[in-house]
Amino acid sequence: MDYEIKENSLIARIAAKKLGADTCAIVLGKTIHLFNVSQIDFLKNERWLRHEECHIAQFKKYGFVNFVCRYLWESILHGYQNNKYEIEARNAEGII
């Protein structure tokens, strides 16, 4: 899969604060933004990597603006945990 990784991302830092998380990865387009986790440690975590790769595939499927709008709308309607795109990404981790 074709993607870039950005460590110490301000975007991921903001997302971590919003989620109340110590570490965070967030995808925008083909870039995985990381906060408080190194690229090496992130890549070692296969479940987390598969989760974020699923989001990259979602961006590719719907297009950048379209996916952001869909994702935000799902989050507004159903919350972060019940957002269908998060459910799909959790399923991609290999956990049933």
Residue 44 pLDDT > 80? yes
**Which pLDDT score, from 0 to 100, does residue 94 have?**
86
- Residues 77 and 13: their CA atoms lie apart, in Å, by 24
Instruction: Provide the number of structural domains found in the chain.
Output: 1
pLDDT single digits (tens) 76-85: 999 999 999 9
- Residues 96 and 92: their CA atoms lie apart, in Å, by 9
Alpha-carbon separation of residue 65 from 2, 5, 9, 77, 93 (angstroms): 19, 20, 20, 18, 25
Task: Please say whether the beta carbons of 19 and 41 come within 8 A.
Answer: no
Mean pLDDT, to the nearest integer, of 37-50? 98
**Which pLDDT score, from 0 to 100, does residue 1 have?**
80
Residue 89 pLDDT > 90? yes
Residue tagged 């379209």 (tokens): 66
**Which residues span the domain enclosing 76?**
4-92
